[in-house]
Every structure is written in C-alpha cells, then in structure tokens.
C-alpha cells in the first residue's frame, strides 16, 4: 500500500540527511521526497511517499518521531488531501509538430516555458497519473530531458494533521532543538 507522510521538522542544517539516512539504514525505500519551508521560517515540511503495509508505515513513523528535530509526523494518505507533482520536460519539436505539442499542453493544462529552434521545454503540475500520462504522450516526439519534483501534499479544509498545534507553535517560535 502507498502512504503519503508529512513531517514537520525544524529548519536546521542536516535534517534532510539525518532523516534520509535513518530511513535508508533501516531498509525503508522512499518513492518520493520533497522538502520546503513552511509558513514559519523555523519549520520545513518533508513529504514522503513510502510503499508498504501498515506495519511498515508504523515503523517508519516511530523511527521518524525519535529524531529530535522532527516536530510531528502524519499519515495524510488516510485523510482527504491534495497532492501534486511538478515536472519540467524538454522535447524535440520539429516545425510541423509544434502545434500538436501545443494542443496536448492545452489539454493537460501544461505551459511551454522555453522555446528553441529544435525543442520546447514544458512545465506541468498535477497528480502523478496526469504527469505520467503526459510523459507517455511526449515519448513519440522524443524526450530530451526530464526533471520532476517529489510529491507534495496537504490535508484538505480545516484539518491539520493530528490536531496537536501546541508542539508546532512552540517549535515555530523558537529556532532551538526540542
């Protein structure tokens, strides 16, 4: 089973390598990982996608919660949430094919962000299956280069993880380790 985990961590050097190293040393595979600052300059959000049964998920959560710079870990795949991937893709674009590529971009709500004599660079954001479908449609044109972010996700509406905002507020107001 696929799980999307969101971890709020203190925004200090070394947190990413510490978390990734801990998971790797215990044999857990991360399918996707994205990290970025939050509304607080003292916190970052790490979004992981891991595959495994509920036992694996629980082990990953327990290991993450042992790390002192981790403020909170939530399995948001069990909640109503929105998740997105972002991709830049460079494809061959001969003159006779540009209009076809442009039409596919319109259908997928992608944007052409760079044009050169022989290729186009396209930006697309959406759910993983949308991004994968777009890649499949670009293959016949010739993919020259491709870069993707990890998955990012947030719980819908007013829900906010497990509801424990006290520890988050304390961590967000002070740059020291908890």
Dist. CA 131–CA 28, nearest whole Å? 25
Task: Over range 112-129, report the average pLDDT.
Answer: 96
Mean pLDDT value across the chain: 88
| Integer Rg of the chain from CA | 19
pTM (2 d.p.): 0.77
Pick from 20-34, 37-51, 93-107: least confident: 20-34
106 pLDDT tier (thresholds 50, 70, 90): very high
b/e per residue, 42-66, with b = 16+ CB within 10 A? Answer: bbbbbbbbbeeeeebbeebbebbee
> Looking at the predicted structure, is the pLDDT value of residue 162 above 80?
no
CATH superfamily of the 2-80+157-173 domain: ACT domain (3.30.70.260)
Phi, psi of 116 (to 5 degrees): -130, 170
Task: Over range 163-173, report the average pLDDT.
Answer: 51
Task: Over range 82-94, report the average pLDDT.
Answer: 95
Model pLDDT for residues 39-74, shown as the tens digit of each residue: 999 999 999 898 888 888 888 888 888 888 999 999
- Just give the CATH number of 82-148: 3.30.70.1150
> Looking at the predicted structure, is the pLDDT value of residue 173 above 60?
no
Confidence (pLDDT) at 175: 52
Same fold, 2-80+157-173 and 82-148: yes
Residue with more model confidence, 164 or 80: 80
Domain boundaries, the chain: 2-80+157-173, 82-148
Q: HSE on the CB side for 146, CA within 13 Å? A: 13
Question: If we measure between CA atoms, which residue out of 50, 49, 3 comes closest to residue 27?
Answer: 50
171 pLDDT tier (thresholds 50, 70, 90): low
21 pLDDT tier (thresholds 50, 70, 90): confident
> Looking at the predicted structure, is the pLDDT value of residue 137 above 60?
yes
Confidence (pLDDT) at 20: 86
Confidence (pLDDT) at 130: 97
């Amino acid at each position: 089973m696929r799980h999307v985990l969101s971890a709020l961590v203190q925004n200090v050097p070394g947190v990413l390598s510490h978390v990734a190293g801990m998971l790797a040393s215990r044999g857990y595979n991360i399918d996707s990982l994205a990290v970025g600052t939050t509304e607080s300059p003292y916190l970052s959000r790490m979004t992981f996608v891991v595959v495994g049964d509920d036992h694996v998920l629980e082990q990953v959560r327990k290991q993450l919660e042992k790390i002192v710079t981790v403020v909170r870990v939530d399995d948001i795949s069990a909640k109503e949430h929105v998740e997105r991937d972002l991709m830049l893709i460079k494809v061959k674009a001969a003159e006779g094919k540009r209009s076809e590529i442009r039409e596919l971009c319109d259908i997928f709500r992608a944007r052409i962000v760079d044009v050169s004599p022989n290729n186009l660079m396209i930006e697309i954001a959406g759910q993983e299956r949308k991004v994968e479908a777009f890649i499949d449609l670009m293959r016949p044109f010739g993919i020259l280069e491709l870069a993707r972010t990890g998955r990012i996700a947030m719980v819908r509406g007013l829900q906010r993880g497990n509801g424990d905002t006290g520890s988050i507020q304390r961590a967000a107001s002070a740059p020291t380790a908890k």
